[in-house]
Amino acid sequence: MRRYIIQRVILAIPTLLLISVVVFWLGQRAAVDPLSMRGAVAYTAPSMDPLLEADHYRRQAQSFHLDKPLFYLSVLPDCYPDSLHLIFPYHRRERMAHFARSCGDWEPVVAYDRELSKLVRQLELVFDTLERSAGFNGALSDLLNADDQRTALERLDSLTRIVRVQEVEERMDTLRLCLGALTPVSGWGWPKVYWYGLDNQYHHWLTGKFAKERGSSWDRIRYSLRVTLLVNGLAIVFALLAGISLGVWMTSLRVRWLDRLSRVVLVSSYVIPIIVIACVLRYLFATPGHGLYLSTIGGVGTSLYDPAQQSFFEWAGLNWGRLILPLVTLWLHYTALIALQMRAGLLGVMGAEYIRTARARGLSSWRIRWVHAVPNALFPIISIMGGLLPGAVSGSIITELIFNINGLGHATVDAVLTGDYPVMMSIVLLTSVLTITGNLLVDILYAWLDPRVRLGVSS
């Protein structure tokens, strides 16, 4: 058994690492400035000069390890340098990379960027004393954003028509010569592999050294996670006790119409959307002046859990009444599913030879069902349990929004609406961990109930 568990854990580790790589990469590809995504104060460069802007940005980026490469290695076209990750801001990096892909060489791109920086500085010095025309800032901004030779030349000509200063025109002629060296060529050449080692953004994020992002995002969800696990955990435990007992009871019914009625009720409880059940329960029991309002519940909405003010058990004690309805909502859904699966599994087991042998030996009906039949009918229930763990996060979104519970589901919606990508990355990674953990527990329970699973014996 121990060997089997070790094997399953070893198989789960690469899956988790692969998921973490995908989650981290998707977070980095978000259409949001990395500094603002990490909660930094929006940077305002003192000049439009690309080099000065880059220095200003880099000082803030270093505190978040953004000056490190993304992963342990990278595969880039041979026209890219191995220090591409050191170019800031990101729109300047994309512009220079686009020029390099076009002309197939990095040196002319660096020369153009340097001359562009000199032109901007000279323009800003000249226009400190001269009145700027209405189109000057727009024309200069368009030139800075141009990422191909043709567009850059057109925008440089537009700027030339606005600026009529001889010394600036000479600098523009020099910039045209640099643009002439950026003639597009076909093909990128052979790709190159660059190895960066452990000092990269993903490694810092994964090992917890990326404290300013990973720590803050985890701090924002770990307290919400406790609330979600409390409600969903109690709902799952109560659903297991009620569902298994109800499923066994249904197989012992002698009255066919009662069995049919029970199945109709359970199927209805399962197929009715959780949002409908939650809204009905809130209207009936948590709305003053409507239905069967219970003062014990006290309406909806829990207080925000603050570990600095109270322990989690104290918070749960103060808000237990307002956790009843969301718990009942999830409990009804889970119980119906488990009871139906238990009934179907037990009916399939009751016709087995060992059950007939037990009856021939004169064992009681209670002992036959609970001792011999139920353990072998639990396999469908175990499979369901593997999906309930990650479902505790996704399924709690509707419940927590309707009953205004400050749990992980509520935090997920807030992160999506506000564009909080670090929190979204953490929640996706957490859901993946719960999914793999649920599947691992299913495999272990399978092997514990049936030794043929861990021994690899075919049924």
Number of C-beta neighbours around residue 15 at 10 A: 13
Decide: 190 and 164 in contact? Cβ < 8 Å: no
Give the span between the Cα atoms of 236 and 243, in whole angstroms.
10
Tell me: cis bond preceding 375? Omega within 30 of 0 counts.
no
Report residue 157 as tokens.
């000509």
Quick check: 414 and 408 in contact, CB under 8 A?
A: no
Could you give the CA distance from residue 86 to residue 67 in angstroms, rounded to a whole number?
Answer: 5
- Residue 45 is predicted with a pLDDT of 57
**E strand or H helix at 319, and its extent?**
helix 312-349
Q: Which residue from 48, 44, 80 is spatially nearest to 60, judged by alpha carbons?
A: 44
How many angstroms separate the CA atoms of 73 and 202, rounded?
A: 11
Q: What is the pLDDT of residue 328?
A: 92
Domain ranges of the chain: 44-207, 215-455
- Tell me the one-letter amino acid at 405: I
- Among 195, 194, 208, 221, which Cα is nearest to 65's? 208
Sign of torsion over alpha carbons 397, 405, 234, 246:
negative
Count other C-beta atoms under 10 Å from residue 204's C-beta: 18
Secondary structure class of 74 (helix, strand, coil): strand
Predicted local confidence at residue 130, as pLDDT: 47
Amino acid 9 reads: V
CATH fold for the domain made of 215-455: MetI-like fold (1.10.3720)
Q: Is 308 exposed, middle or buried (0-12, 13-18, 19+ CB in 10 A)?
A: exposed
- pLDDT of res. 212: 46
Instruction: Tell me the C-alpha distance between 428 and 359, whole Å.
Output: 50
Whole-structure pTM value: 0.76
* DSSP state string for 174-213: HHHHHHHTT---S----EEEEE-TT-SHHHHHHHT--III
CA dihedral 42, 43, 44, 48 (to 10 degrees): -130
List beta partners, residue 191.
77
What's the half-sphere exposure (Cβ side, CA atoms, 13 Å) at 314? 8
Give pLDDT tens digits along the chain (459 positions).
Answer: 778 788 888 888 898 899 989 988 888 877 677 776 665 555 555 567 788 888 888 888 887 788 899 999 999 888 899 889 899 888 889 999 999 988 888 999 999 999 999 988 888 777 655 455 557 778 888 888 888 889 999 999 888 888 777 778 888 889 999 999 888 887 666 888 999 999 898 988 888 744 444 445 777 788 888 888 889 889 999 999 999 999 988 888 767 788 888 889 999 988 999 899 999 988 888 777 666 666 656 556 677 777 778 888 888 888 888 888 899 999 999 999 999 999 988 888 888 888 888 888 888 888 888 888 888 888 888 888 877 877 777 667 888 888 888 888 888 888 888 878 888 888 888 888 888 888 888 888 888 877 766 655 554
What is the 8-class DSSP label of residue 42? P
AA letter at 340: L
Alpha helices in 31-134 (DSSP H): 34-37, 50-61, 90-103, 107-126
